[in-house]
Amino acid sequence: MSVNESSSNWRRRTAGGIPYKLKTLEGQFSIEDSSASETYIIRASDLVDFANESFPSTVSFGGYLVFGVERCLPNRPRMLTKTVKYKGLTEGKPIDPFGADSNAPAGTYEDFLEVTIDYGPSERGSDDDPDQEDPTTFLEISSTASTNFLANTEGSTGALWGAPYGSAASNNTSAVNIDIPDTVIETSIEWSFRWPQIPYEYFSDTLIARFRAALGKVNSGPTSLFHNAPAETILFLGYAINQSYTWRRDDGVIIPPLSVDFKFLEKSFTATDGTQVTHNHFYRPGVGWRRLYVNNNPVFQKTNLDNIFRR
């Protein structure tokens, strides 16, 4: 593919205005997955700009977040850039895209290079606009439901033994206050959130204080992130912070961005007596689920959990 003509005459441009020539496109589809790979020819001097356009940073301005979304396969907004690989265009002629040898004689290095972009599907495509007022647009969310079995050693009011198998007898025998404990079923859902690419300044100035204030508390009202779960049913268990080095350090990023994983526990079900059970309800043997107070206050304090993620 000829690169003899001026790159200003090349027909194709990235969204950021970088001229390129398309060399190859290949990929594959499966039932719910796909992958693709493009090879471009670009100017060697455009490599860093191309990388920054492919993987834009999320930045903070005055408490507002401006979200970066990876570059997509042209006309396929759900296929986002996963990796960008580069190499020399002309065999035997080196490249110097970072200007490491600025005093080299003219013609020492190839002016163009070849980049290979690998794409893959993403939950959030380039056509989505992450909204700080809607955390579902930038959080990665998963959940796992489970059941806990509590042993009530006093038995359960109204518990009855059934008739023997095959017996026509209809009278059942009371099973209250016997040595075999009654099983109390307690259901719960563990929610896991992941917030990638949080600017360090925003985390340090804003988020960490919110985390600390909400830790160990329950939702004060219906919470949109948990499909409007009732008050006191969502408990903020904790969070984990991950910070790693970044190739952007030389491009204005002093401290690398963070990824934070959050854990919440949902306790919300209706007991057999009709009680709506929350985190502030505990099982009282022989009585049932009841709210528990310590010094006239419920065990878990309440807060607006939605405010952790919103401005």
Q: Which of 121, 143, 159 is the last residue of a domain?
A: 121
Query: What tokens appear for 95 in the block?
Result: 């490249």
Amino acid at site 301: Q
Q: Which domain holds residue 68?
A: 7-121
Pair (100, 167) in one structural domain: no
Pair (285, 145) in one structural domain: yes
Pair (187, 81) in one structural domain: no
Q: Do the domain assignments include residue 117?
A: yes
**Among 80-84, 92-96, 284-288, which is the least confidently predicted range?**
284-288
Tally of structural domains, the chain: 2
Q: Do the domain assignments include residue 74?
A: yes
Pair (145, 281) in one structural domain: yes
Judged by DSSP in three states, 306 sits in helix
Phi, psi of 63 (to 5 degrees): 90, -10
Pair (181, 208) in one structural domain: yes
Pair (210, 301) in one structural domain: yes
Q: How confident is the model at residue 124 (pLDDT cuts 50, 70, 90)?
A: low
Pair (71, 150) in one structural domain: no
pTM for this model (two decimals): 0.74
Q: Do the domain assignments include residue 1?
A: no
- pLDDT recorded at residue 140: 82
Pair (191, 98) in one structural domain: no
125-151 pLDDT, tens digit each: 555 667 767 777 778 888 888 777 665
Residues 6+ apart with CB under 8 A from 84: 50, 51, 54, 55, 115, 116, 117, 118
In this predicted structure, the answer to whether residue 14 has a pLDDT above a threshold of 70 is yes
For the chain, what percent of residues have pLDDT higher than 90? Answer: 48
Pair (114, 141) in one structural domain: no
- pLDDT recorded at residue 160: 63
Return d(Cα 288, Cα 281) in angstroms, integer. 10
Q: Do the domain assignments include residue 129?
A: no
For residues 178 and 52, which has the higher predicted lDDT (pLDDT)? 52
Return d(Cα 154, Cα 157) in angstroms, integer. 9
Q: Do the domain assignments include residue 279?
A: yes
Pair (114, 222) in one structural domain: no
Q: Do the domain assignments include residue 159?
A: yes
In this predicted structure, the answer to whether residue 176 has a pLDDT above a threshold of 60 is no
Contact assessment for residue 19 and residue 7, using Cβ atoms and an 8 Å cutoff? yes
Pair (295, 171) in one structural domain: yes
Q: Which of 95, 121, 147 is the last residue of a domain?
A: 121
Q: Do the domain assignments include residue 2?
A: no
Q: Do the domain assignments include residue 130?
A: no
16-66 pLDDT, tens digit each: 999 999 999 999 999 989 999 999 999 999 999 999 999 988 888 777 788
Return d(Cα 282, Cα 288) in angstroms, integer. 8
Pair (55, 194) in one structural domain: no
Q: Which of 64, 92, 121 is the last residue of a domain?
A: 121
211-263 pLDDT, tens digit each: 999 999 999 999 888 888 999 999 999 999 998 777 776 555 667 888 999 99
